[in-house]
Structure 1
């Protein structure tokens, strides 16, 4: 088996200018699920472009992508992609940027990104989520996902990040079936975690990091995401991110998958929902 190129996450979201509000990004094979580029990684690239466009236009450096809504048009291969951005609004608190990501003249993602300064301090009200009850760090019996692991051969992101999975929820790993929810832990490599902007983009990507929860129902194969929206609630603190992926309705053709991402302090940093197709 070929080991994916272990390039850092910041390489994925590094944009090379090729014109006005136009860039290229080089997506390494590490950032794929199966043979195609991982949807959460494309969402992160689009978010990086939207922020770059606003900063180039003089926005507050504290501005971050608060909501990223991406529609997936086609599935690109790893390699060079073209990214273009159009600023739709640049206000005192909120900016809105449309981004298009494509490859070889073919559109792959159309995204609308809302940007602003994330929350800080204690929330005024919160309801505990099951993800906040997870241990802050993966326990000793958590499965280490490596490129050689069966899950790592599908979700190749483990080649560029640390990933651990709770086998008691990932029933598909032992050939069993169970409820469509999976809990796991992930964190960027040290160099990526040290940069706030990269850590933010990694947390947004983690809103799509789990293998499809339909696998727990015995449904294997490609489960293409049609639409994915991720919300950044606050800047992630250093350390492990706790992730819970779950679905409430698995239909004959469609299912939704929600991710809740919690940082080392127990704060919810990313919430996401996607609409995907049940594997054939």
Structure 2
């Protein structure tokens, strides 16, 4: 497997989610080794690539204005691919004025790694009619001086290579595992794409979707380390993100013998809820 290297691109996430049209609803993508956790491709990045393929398929079928975005992506993870070349095989199930449905299989070689159902529509643009308060809204809009910057030299950055493709800062008050302590199964952080990725509206949407899986497993706060494989992940795009830092909270309510759920809530710099997600994952064996 190629080793993750220093990122030289000014739009690494845009390059990840820019696909080549192979015809017949099939697209190709190249997943750089930067977009990995340990040796394997990050689940949120694969979800974003599937969403990009669904969006490209709908635009090829007639959404010339590009108004529709992937407002829901429900993915089943069948295998953990290596970075490199992948194919996205799309099937348009519905093409409507308000809602489109596309199935996407992310394949490496002859093996399906991710099978996703993508719903496309127009995200909300106004203030919500009702919204429950979220703990993540208590974070300052920008990371304070005490936030832990996950750099390539940081122990976490040596595993979470995704942090090389964006700016990722963790709230130490929530991430007690960073201090060798235990706490609630909660993690909070600030994340921002690189300037050119943030400036492109289509890339910014996919980056926000990826943040629905950005947190280290919250089981780490309970002293359970190691790979926590995602089995199923569903992510909703509620708003297009405003430019600036996005605040993320990941949390779990039930840590079972084998399974746990992990929810993400993502707020943009304007305080809008831009992404919500829930995944079903397996308790680490390490």
TM-score, normalised to structure 1's length? 0.98
Structure 1 match to 2:36? 32
Aligned partner (choices 206, 230, 233) of residue 228 of structure 1? 233
Give secondary structure in 2 for the equivalent of 1:29.
Answer: coil
SS in 2 for 1:147: coil
Q: Aligned pair in 2 of structure 1 residues 28, 6: CA closer, same or farther (>3 Å)?
A: farther
Task: Provide the C-alpha distance between the structure 1 equivalents of 2:271 and 2:169, rounded to a whole number of angstroms.
Answer: 18
Runs of 5+ consecutive residues of structure 1 not aligned to the other structure: none
Aligned Cα root-mean-square deviation (Å): 1.1
Note if 1:264 corresponds to 2:269.
yes
Shift of 1:19: 2.3
User: 152-161 or 270-279, which moves further after superposition?
Assistant: 152-161
Question: Among residues 76, 79, 85, which one is paired with 2:81 in the alignment?
Answer: 76
Contact 1:21 1:53 in 2 (8 A): yes
The answer for unaligned runs of 5 or more in structure 2 is none
Q: Determine the structure 2 residue equivalent to 1:203.
A: 208
Using a 3 Å threshold, how does the CA distance of structure 1 residues 184 and 6 change in structure 2: closer, same or farther? Answer: farther
**Counterparts of 1:2 and 1:43, CA distance in 2:** 20
| Aligned counterparts, 1:1-280, within 5 A | 3-7=5-9, 8-59=12-63, 60-280=65-285
Shift of 1:121: 1.4
The number of residue pairs the alignment matches comes to: 280
Residues 109-136 of structure 1: CA deviation (Å, up to 9, x unaligned): 0000000000001111111111122110
Q: In the aligned structure 1, how far is the partner of 2:128 from the partner of 2:71?
A: 16
Distance 1:119 1:138 in 2: 27
Contact 2:5/2:33 (<8 A) preserved: no
Aligned-partner SS, 2:250: strand
| Distance of aligned partners of 1:4 and 1:212 in 2 relative to their CA distance in 1, 3 Å threshold | farther
User: CA distance change for structure 1 residues 2 and 18 in 2, over 3 Å: closer, same or farther?
Assistant: closer
Tell me, yes or no, if the aligned pair for 1:162 and 1:188 is still in contact at 8 Å: yes
Q: Distance in 2 between matches of 1:128 and 1:174?
A: 29
- Cα distance in 1 between the residues matched to 2:136 and 2:54: 29
Contact 1:50 / 1:97 at 8 angstroms: preserved in 2? yes
Residue 94 of structure 1: how far off its partner (Å): 0.2
Mean alpha-carbon deviation: is it higher for 150-159 or for 45-54?
150-159
Contact preservation (8 Å) 1:132, 1:268: no
| Deviation of the 1:3 alpha carbon | 3.5
Q: Structure 1 residue 91: deviation in Å? A: 0.9
Deviation of 1:189 after TM superposition, in Å, equals: 0.1
What's the TM-score, normalizing by structure 2?
0.96
After TM superposition, which residue ranges in structure 1, 4 or more long, deviate above 6 angstroms?
none
**1:63-114 deviation line (CA, Å, top 9, x unaligned):** 0000000000000000001111000001110000000001011110000000
Task: Pick closer, same or farther for the CA change 1:168–1:17 going to 2, 3 Å.
Answer: same
C-alpha displacement of 1:4? 4.9
